[in-house]
Amino acid sequence: MSKDKREKNSSEEQSGQETHRFDISALSKKEIIDRSRKFSKQYCVGNGADFRLKDYDTKAGVEFSAEDKPLVKEALEIGVEALAALQDILYAQDRWSLLVIFQAMDAAGKDGAIKHVMSGVNPQGCQVSSFKSPSNEELDHDFLWRCQKHLPERGRIGIFNRSYYEEVLVVRVHEAILRAQKLPEKLVTKDIWEERFKDIRNFEKYLTRNGTIVIKIFLNVSKKEQKKRFIQRVDDPDKNWKFSAADAKERGYWKDYMYAYEELIRNTSTEKSPWYIVPADNKSFARIVIASAIIHALDEMELEYPKVSKEKLAELHEIKASLLAEE
Ligand code: ATP
Ligand code: MG
């Protein structure tokens, strides 16, 4: 970005004149990080004690016209670039790790969001794990077991596409699934959800204390938008594979799911491991919110490239000198 461009921008802002559209590419990396922090904050629940789902919109707060498309695309590209730059330091420093959990109703856009938001990241520094119905082997263990095996190593970003939160979602909505979990009968009481919330809170606290920061993304799609996307999945032959009768059946439990989401967010959103309630009716907007939330979480780590000692630096220069001296 040229300095001239930035100065032009700020003088226009000061004079209040709007001679052309806001030029997002003129922002410095620090400005992008600052904006990401402020932007993502409005969707961040923090301490969830007073959380109510109805306070959060499924729609972006702004209307986008066709004209805005390139700007939205550019905003995401810039966010992805900033995220990749931070991830490079995370990897080099090899101390912290970040776990990003995605939860949502079907067709809310989890897969697309993961694909686009992580598109600029070095694949070596990122691990995506999807959690479907548990296998027999998984059901022979406690509910966190299968997820623990996929936690990100130091220096890495781990993405969970669904997670242990299904244990207080689909398992809560369908009592039969809980019954099939092979738990000792006397442990299945009316307190089980409260107990699971507590276990999850403690688990995330434990991870945080060990250098793995956990953030949780709820893609908040409306029932109306889900219907539209389901119909598209039937009408578009390339999308047929994405749709099943099971998805349509789960839609019938919408209210129960919303209740379960509200309860779990209220009980597991904390300052250190917050939930983000991302308006998901507009996919592009949702992706920008997600990129911002990840940038913010990485920025909080105050990452730095490892410092090289004076001795090591002198050694590197000696090596360089001998390389240059080669015939
Ligand atoms: P897609 O966007 O492709 O539909 P998906 O994440 O919905 O992706 P599916 O294979 O359709 O993947 O569904 C996985 C299913 O597994 C979900 O319905 C989810 O609720 C269920 N599931 C995940 N974890 C558990 C669990 N612990 N117990 C029971 N069911 C689970
Ligand atoms: Mg599905």
Q: What is the pLDDT of residue 202?
A: 98
| pLDDT tens digits along 13-36 | 444 444 455 676 777 888 888 889
Count of Cβ atoms closer than 10 Å to residue 300 Cβ: 14
Position in ligand 1 atom list of the atom nearest CA 130? 6
Q: Atom 8, ligand 1: which residue's CA is nearest? A: 106
Q: What is the pLDDT of residue 19?
A: 42
Ordered strands of the 275-279 beta sheet: 126-130, 157-161, 97-104, 212-220, 275-279
Strand pairing report for 157-161 and 126-130: parallel
Strand pairing report for 212-220 and 275-279: parallel
The dihedral formed by the CA atoms of 171, 172, 176 and 182, expressed in degrees to the nearest 10: 60
Q: Atom 16, ligand 1: which residue's CA is nearest? A: 132
**DSSP track, 131-166:** --SPPHHHHTS-TTHHHHTTPPPTT-EEEEES-GGG
Q: Pick from 86, 153, 147: which is nearest to 124 by CA?
A: 153
* Torsion angles phi and psi, residue 72, rounded to 5: -65, -40
Q: Atom 20, ligand 1: which residue's CA is nearest? A: 170
Mutate to test the pocket of ligand 1, among 101, 163, 164, 166 (most ligand atoms within 8 A of CB): 166
Q: Which two tokens stand for residue 173?
A: 């909505």
Kindly provide the b/e burial profile for residues 152-173, where b requires at least 16 CB atoms within 10 angstroms of the residue's own CB: beebbbbbbbbbbbbbbbbbbb
Q: Pick from 218, 239, 217: which is nearest to 228 by CA?
A: 239
**DSSP track, 229-280:** HHHHHHH-GGGGGG--HHHHHHHTTHHHHHHHHHHHHHHH--SSS-EEEEE-
Q: What is the pLDDT of residue 162?
A: 98
Euclidean distance between CA atoms 251 and 244, whole angstroms: 11
Mutate to test the pocket of ligand 1, among 102, 128, 132 (most ligand atoms within 8 A of CB): 132
What's the CA-to-centroid distance between 106 and ligand 2, angstroms?
5
Euclidean distance between CA atoms 160 and 204, whole angstroms: 14
Look over the chain and give the mean of its residue pLDDT values, rounded to a whole number. Answer: 91
Q: What 8-state DSSP symbol labels residue 325? A: H
Count of Cβ atoms closer than 10 Å to residue 48 Cβ: 19
| pLDDT tens digits along 263-277 | 999 999 999 999 999
Euclidean distance between CA atoms 49 and 52, whole angstroms: 9
CB burial class (10 A; 0-12, 13-18, 19+) of residue 257?
A: middle
Are 301 and 81 in contact by the 8 Å Cβ rule? The answer is no
Are 126 and 134 in contact by the 8 Å Cβ rule? The answer is no
**DSSP track, 98-114:** EEEEEEESTTSSHHHHH
Are 273 and 208 in contact by the 8 Å Cβ rule? The answer is yes
What's the CA-to-centroid distance between 217 and ligand 1, angstroms?
16
pTM: 0.90
Euclidean distance between CA atoms 75 and 71, whole angstroms: 6
pLDDT tens, N- to C-terminus, the chain (327 residues): 333 433 444 444 444 444 455 676 777 888 888 889 999 999 999 999 999 999 999 999 777 777 778 888 888 999 999 999 999 999 999 999 999 999 999 999 999 999 999 999 999 999 999 999 999 999 999 999 999 999 999 999 999 999 999 999 999 999 999 999 999 999 999 999 999 999 999 999 999 999 999 999 999 999 999 999 999 999 999 999 999 999 999 999 999 999 999 999 999 999 999 999 999 999 999 999 999 999 999 999 999 999 999 999 999 999 999 999 998
Q: What is the pLDDT of residue 8?
A: 42
Euclidean distance between CA atoms 116 and 168, whole angstroms: 28
Strand pairing report for 212-220 and 97-104: parallel
Lining residues, ligand 1, CB within 6 Å = 106, 110-111, 131-134, 161-162, 166-167, 170-171, 177, 242
Q: What is the pLDDT of residue 22?
A: 62
Position in ligand 1 atom list of the atom nearest CA 177? 29
Ligand that lies nearest to the alpha carbon of residue 170, given by its number in the listed order: 1
Position in ligand 1 atom list of the atom nearest CA 169? 20
What's the CA-to-centroid distance between 98 and ligand 1, angstroms?
23
| pLDDT tens digits along 64-94 | 777 778 888 888 999 999 999 999 999 999 9
What's the CA-to-centroid distance between 162 and ligand 1, angstroms?
7
Position in ligand 1 atom list of the atom nearest CA 250? 18
Mutate to test the pocket of ligand 1, among 169, 170, 179 (most ligand atoms within 8 A of CB): 170
